[in-house]
Amino acid sequence: MANKVSKSFLKDSHLITELKLCSIRLIDNAKFPWIILIPKRKNITDISELNSKDQMLLMKEIVHCSKLMKKIFKTKKLNVEKIGNIVPQLHIHIIARSTKDSTWPLSVWVIKGKPYSKVLLAKTISKIKKYFKG
Amino acid sequence: MANKVSKSFLKDSHLITELKLCSIRLIDNAKFPWIILIPKRKNITDISELNSKDQMLLMKEIVHCSKLMKKIFKTKKLNVEKIGNIVPQLHIHIIARSTKDSTWPLSVWVIKGKPYSKVLLAKTISKIKKYFKG
């Protein structure tokens, strides 16, 4: 039941790793440390459409990624969001927030993103991958 | 381990029902059908801080509320979000979206809310309560 990752994700994000249920990708926005979890299931747009085993697995992977994001980016503040208004394929955003970031305390959705420079992108991907492997 | 509901919630939302883990409240914003789930646990600001039994229960209650919100407001489009930048007490937003609502396809966070009229508030609460009881 593997699923193809939507073209928008391939364009705007970079693969970090594959977990049991989800592909983990870095969103190409230098304003926030931001990953998405994409369950590898076909034709699913909402969490409630997953079967109950996958729902539990999704929760486990959200918690696993949350702990890593807090550790990697040294913060306790996370936004965890299922939106899907523009790209319907089910995906969960996990965004590490800081009181010093561009929009604090507002949502990340109130401003436009800014792509990483080539150097910073490579550095960020490698940093995140290291924690996911460890 | 019951927890007090933050004062901001008491001001800006109305109790719908109590589930095993969460208090369910309607957000007083007539622009979107919008509930929050507040786990009745002390000093928790992130999903990953709940114990694993509560994490699974939270997922079950998110799915239960998601299904009801889709049914009550006749939509398949839901935003499910843990933000907590302004009110740190852990709470999950479940917002029924429609392609005809105020900000579609953008996030609900890009505009100011609008309180319900007294009549519409009573009507909306009673409608939601009916489904939660049924």
Q: What is the pLDDT of residues B3-42, one digit of tens each?
A: 688 888 988 999 999 999 999 999 999 999 999 999 999 9
CA distance A44 to chain B (A): 11
Enumerate residues 6+ apart whose C-beta is below 8 A from B72. Answer: B33, B96, B127, B128, B131
Whether the CB-CB separation of B47 and B90 falls below 8 Å is answered with yes
| Cα dist from A91 to A97, B2, B73, whole Å | 19, 32, 22
For A104, which of B55, B85, B109 is closest by C-beta distance? B85
Q: What angle do CA A10, A13, A14 make, to 5 degrees?
A: 90
Q: Please say if the pLDDT value at position B1 is more than 60.
A: no
For range B49-56, the mean pLDDT? 98
Give the span between the Cα atoms of B13 and B22, in whole angstroms.
Answer: 14
For range A107-112, the mean pLDDT? 95
Q: Please say if the pLDDT value at position A21 is more than 60.
A: yes
Give the span between the Cα atoms of B18 and B4, in whole angstroms.
Answer: 13
The DSSP call for residue B97 is -
pLDDT digits (tens, 9 = 90+) for A28-38: 999 999 999 99
Q: Please, what are the domains in chain A?
A: 7-133 (3.30.428.10)
Give the span between the Cα atoms of B103 and B111, in whole angstroms.
Answer: 7
Lowest mean pLDDT among A91-100, A125-134, B25-34, B44-53: A125-134
Chain B residues in contact with A104 (beta carbon < 8 A): 85
CB contact under 8 A, A107 and B84: no
Give the span between the Cα atoms of B4 and B57, in whole angstroms.
Answer: 19
- More confident position, A3 or B124: B124
The pLDDT value given to residue A134:
74
Backbone dihedral angles phi then psi of residue A48, each to the nearest 5 degrees = -70, -10
For range A3-18, the mean pLDDT? 90
Put the strands of the sheet holding B22-27 in their side by side order: A13-18, A22-27, A34-39, A92-96, A78-82, B78-82, B92-96, B34-39, B22-27, B13-18
CA distance A91 to chain B (A): 11
CB contact under 8 A, B47 and A66: yes
| Cα dist from B62 to A1, A80, B56, B117, B133, whole Å | 24, 13, 10, 28, 16
Backbone dihedral angles phi then psi of residue B81, each to the nearest 5 degrees = -140, 135
Cβ of A96 under 8 Å from any chain B Cβ? no
Chain B residues in contact with A66 (beta carbon < 8 A): 46-48
With CA atoms as reference, the chain B residue closest to A103 would be B85
The pLDDT value given to residue B134:
74
pLDDT digits (tens, 9 = 90+) for B77-117: 999 999 999 999 999 999 999 999 999 999 999 999 999 99
For B80, which of A47, A59, A110 is closest by C-beta distance? A47
Q: Is the ipTM above a cut-off of 0.90?
A: yes
With CA atoms as reference, the chain B residue closest to A96 would be B83
